Amino acid sequence: MQRKIKITEKIIDMAYRIGIEYEKSRHYCSQCVVATLQEVLQIKDDALFRAAYPLAGGLGNSTKGNCGALSGGAMIIGYFYGRTREEFKDNIPNKKAMNLTKKLYNLFIKEYGSFRCEDIQAKLFGRSFDFWNEQDKQAFEKAGGHREGKCPLVVAKAAVWTLKIIQEELNLDSAI
């Protein structure tokens, strides 16, 4: 997708604040990252927003898969750099999208020691939670799951990391 975008410190700061607020008030980390980045980058694509929803909570709230914030960031990287229909038809891999997403993945590994929802929860809370169990869901909230220092911070960091990866790529593209 070819678009002129300029990512400034103001946009990065805005993404951080919006990411925290969305996860605190609306929940579902994957969709919060996508909504944040859509807002700051002015992407008007409701299908992308809707598609992010079931990736939350480690995929379908299972907590067993990717952190939803990581998945949301990967979706935005894919929006800008993902494999095109033509590349798909001709079976051409898109190394740029994969390399950029791997950078985001590496930031999660560095910060949290994992990319998995339940592992990140264990790091943040000292345990993981089963979102399909009502008592666990309540325990998550009681432990501050949607307060600023917990999952909202993961969402904010994922949004900022994604923006910085895109910014770095744009700077490389303009240097050529």
**pLDDT tens per residue, range 88-104:** 999 999 899 999 999 99
Percent of the chain with pLDDT over 70: 95
Q: What is the pLDDT of residue 92?
A: 93
Single-letter code of the amino acid located at 70: L
Phi then psi for 5, rounded to 5 degrees? -135, 145
Position of tokens 């008007």? 44
* Gyration radius of the chain over CA positions: 16
Is 161 a residue whose pLDDT tops 90?
Answer: yes
Q: What is the pLDDT of residue 169?
A: 87
> Measured between alpha carbons, how far apart are the two ends of the chain, in Å?
18
Q: What is the pLDDT of residue 176?
A: 32
Q: What is the pLDDT of residue 148?
A: 77
Rounded to two decimals, what is the model's pTM? 0.93
> 157: closest CA among 147, 146, 149?
149
Is 28 a residue whose pLDDT tops 60?
Answer: yes
**Residues 84, 2: contact at Cβ < 8 Å?**
no
Q: What is the pLDDT of residue 121?
A: 97
Is 125 a residue whose pLDDT tops 90?
Answer: yes
Is 77 a residue whose pLDDT tops 90?
Answer: yes
Q: What is the pLDDT of residue 172?
A: 62
The domain segmentation of the chain, as residue ranges, is 9-171
The residue among 46 and 149 whose pLDDT is bigger is 46
- With bands split at pLDDT 50, 70 and 90, how would you rate the model's confidence at 8? confident
- With bands split at pLDDT 50, 70 and 90, how would you rate the model's confidence at 155? very high
